[in-house]
Structure 1
Amino acid sequence: MPEILLTDWNDIIEKKPHAHILQSGAWGELKSSFGWEAVRVKAGEHSAQILFRKLPLGYTIAYLPKPIPKIFGENTALGDEVDRICLERKAIFLKVEPDTWEEKDDHLSLTGWQIGDPIQPPRTIVVDLRGTEDEILARMKQKTRYNIRLAGRKGVTVRAWDDIDAFNEMIQITGGRDGFGVHTREYYQRAYDLFHPGGSAELLVAEYEGKPLAAVMVFISGNRSWYMYGASNNQERNRMPTYLIQWEAMRWAKEHGAEEYDLWGVPDRDEETLEKHFTGTQRNEGLWGVYRFKRGFGGEVKRAAQALDRVYKPFLYTLYRTATKK
């Protein structure tokens, strides 16, 4: 079947309430604004949104984030269609990150794949939003509950926000302080413009006496929500604004039908190692401090199923892997 239009794709996604936000039409449009091409295909009842990035000499790399079904194996027709599209665009390989957790992964039994490096954070913490707000709070660490309430007592308030310039300034500070990469101001503006009007995202800000202290951009699709982008400056940190804003983001997601809240990224270590450093103070660099913060909200540590590369041009794939190896 030929490629399908964005409007048709949005109709498909609307009928699949469990689709991942990375398979949404808006996500494809976001990535298309920054060097990728989104191609959407359908075979029978199954469908996939694939992202292509151009390489020299007309070659591409293909990326399929969090597909709705397993596209190879039992869904042969869709797998064949994806192969056709990838070969047509001279893809060296197709990277697939399945929308399932590690313990449920059986993709490695398939032939024609290489174990790939993940693009999205492989390990995360997922907070259960079911039950009452008191029940959600009760599942958190005592110190986190205390800090959420302390922020309110210290005059911190949270509201919806649309100041992307200020958000970008704040997230640049956060990335430099905590040692992780951030996007450009244009990227955050495009994400807001694509997702917010339809109610699939909200930007929240925590303030004290009208002064922005922290902000988060939270996304929702069906019964799942994701905290992808967050920022805080170095002012009034004793007022614990980051704790209150995360709680308000969870409340927003719950009010809009989410049953879980994905905190989107912690160090990719086994849970025993993570818990050891959660209670200790010897590791604060990079995502270790982020893990300590996120773990306090309760939830379950999960690891995504293995990222896999479907290789179409083995020699060029080897060159590419060698050139991009960190």
Structure 2
Amino acid sequence: MPEVNLTEWNHFLKSHPNAHLLQMGEWGELKRGFGWKPARVISTSSTHRIPNNEIGAQILFRRLPLGLTLGYMPKPVDSGQWTGDGEKFWKEVDSICKKNHAIFLKIEPDAWEETFDFRPSTFDISPHNIQPPRTIVISIKDSEEQILARMKPKCRYNIRLAEKKGITVRTWDDIPAFHEMMTVTGGRDNFGVHSKEYYQRAYELFHPKGTCELLVAEFEGKPLASLMVFADATRAWYVYGASNDQERNRMPTYLLQWEAIRWAKARGCEEYDLWGVPDENEETLEANFENRHDGLWGVYRFKRGFGGQLKRAAQALDRVYNPLLYWAYLRFLGNR
């Protein structure tokens, strides 16, 4: 059967150890409780040229009125679907999307813009990404001294300052306190915050597998900043981070982020994704980051200091099943 259960999906991922966080079975289970329905598809290759002869993806369906859905395939495992090997796979994806009454399926390839040369004929280039398309990725393959050397001098200074000023970092499991801190940060920096139950569920799903850690930066036992970091195989992702308004002159967020990088490196990760900066080229970012604080601009100044490389994901693709309602969706986006 093309559609598989969670156990079968996790078995498939064992042969694709560098799958993105958003393709992990636990991510689908997390989203299940918050308005999405996960479906996992494994198909055989059309040309039998790929390892294990299997192509797969996890799809999330968002419920809409009248029994309709939106389909979303975030960062699918690159297992041959973008070549002639994927013809059978996409037919089975279409079947599952139609069974779920999807208006369209949005795909965000797990590839960088400069390397993704797929030329779609049965897809539309989407005007809208769900995940922030641009990010900063830090290479953490080298020694800690080399990673520190690539950082901006001010960032290194702030990490050392935090240590001198008595900031300590440890693992944490106080989700209610983390959520409270996230709420403070969201209000201060004007971004949306998930419910306490969402963060609790994420921690319960990923932490027992060793693929997630919650870290807190403290001063004299008082929590000042916290983050939730995820990692698997050679990749790590900084997804959720928060700080309150106390003792900010002690730079707790810098030491906290450095300890998260060290945690990922100790697990064997080779890259650390800082997950989201404004969707502008580097020249524009560098010319404006000191003056702008709206949207993701507020975090760019912080993230740029860690010495990573600015990257842009391949643009999202839409596979359309109901052209009239898809047109209405595009009109809605255009009027926002």
TM-score by length of 2: 0.94
* Match of residue 292 from structure 1: 301
**Per the alignment, in what secondary structure is the counterpart of residue 285 of structure 1?**
coil
Deviation at 1:73, TM superposition (A): 4.2
Post-superposition CA distance 1:155-193 (Å, at most 9, x none): 000000000000000011101111111111111011000
Unaligned runs of 5+ in 2: 45-53
Structure 1 window deviating more from structure 2 (128-137 vs 312-321): it is: 312-321
* Match of residue 16 from structure 1: 16
What pairs with 1:221-240 in structure 2 (closer than 5 Å)? Answer: 221-240=232-251
What pairs with 1:19-98 in structure 2 (closer than 5 Å)? Answer: 19-44=19-44, 45-69=54-78, 71-74=81-84, 75-98=86-109
| Distance across 1 between alignment mates of 2:41 and 2:298 | 41
| Distance across 1 between alignment mates of 2:267 and 2:5 | 28
Structure 1 window deviating more from structure 2 (118-127 vs 66-75): it is: 66-75
Q: Does 1:177 align with 2:188?
A: yes
Deviation at 1:324, TM superposition (A): 5.0
| Distance across 1 between alignment mates of 2:161 and 2:8 | 48
* Match of residue 50 from structure 2: none
Aligned residues: percent identity?
63
* Match of residue 112 from structure 1: 122
Post-superposition CA distance 1:126-155 (Å, at most 9, x none): 001011100000000001001001000100
Deviation at 1:15, TM superposition (A): 2.3
Deviation at 1:115, TM superposition (A): 2.3
What pairs with 1:261-280 in structure 2 (closer than 5 Å)? Answer: 261-278=272-289
Preserved contact between residue 2 and residue 43 of structure 2 (Cα < 8 Å): no
**Per the alignment, in what secondary structure is the counterpart of residue 105 of structure 1?**
coil
What pairs with 1:100-249 in structure 2 (closer than 5 Å)? Answer: 100-107=111-118, 109-116=119-126, 117-249=128-260
Structure 1 residue identity aligned to 2:160? R
**Per the alignment, in what secondary structure is the counterpart of residue 52 of structure 1?**
strand
* Match of residue 328 from structure 2: 319
Post-superposition CA distance 1:40-78 (Å, at most 9, x none): 111121111111112122211100000012535421111
| Distance across 2 between alignment mates of 1:110 and 1:284 | 36
Structure 1 window deviating more from structure 2 (8-17 vs 249-258): it is: 8-17
Structure 1 residue identity aligned to 2:260? A
**Per the alignment, in what secondary structure is the counterpart of residue 272 of structure 1?**
helix
| Distance across 1 between alignment mates of 2:240 and 2:299 | 13
* Match of residue 5 from structure 1: 5
Deviation at 1:12, TM superposition (A): 1.2
Structure 1 residue identity aligned to 2:43? A
| Distance across 2 between alignment mates of 1:73 and 1:250 | 35
| Distance across 1 between alignment mates of 2:320 and 2:171 | 44
Preserved contact between residue 105 and residue 306 of structure 1 (Cα < 8 Å): no
Preserved contact between residue 206 and residue 212 of structure 1 (Cα < 8 Å): yes
Q: Does 1:255 align with 2:266?
A: yes
**Per the alignment, in what secondary structure is the counterpart of residue 76 of structure 2?**
coil
Deviation at 1:271, TM superposition (A): 1.2
| Distance across 2 between alignment mates of 1:297 and 1:146 | 11
Post-superposition CA distance 1:21-48 (Å, at most 9, x none): 1000000000111010000111121111
**Per the alignment, in what secondary structure is the counterpart of residue 63 of structure 1?**
strand
| Distance across 2 between alignment mates of 1:102 and 1:118 | 13
TM-score by length of 1: 0.96
- Describe the shift of the 1:323–1:284 C-alpha distance in structure 2 as closer, same or farther (beyond 3 A): closer
| Distance across 1 between alignment mates of 2:95 and 2:232 | 29
Aligned structure 1 segments of 4 or more residues deviating by more than 6 angstroms: none
Unaligned runs of 5+ in 1: none
| Distance across 2 between alignment mates of 1:267 and 1:18 | 26
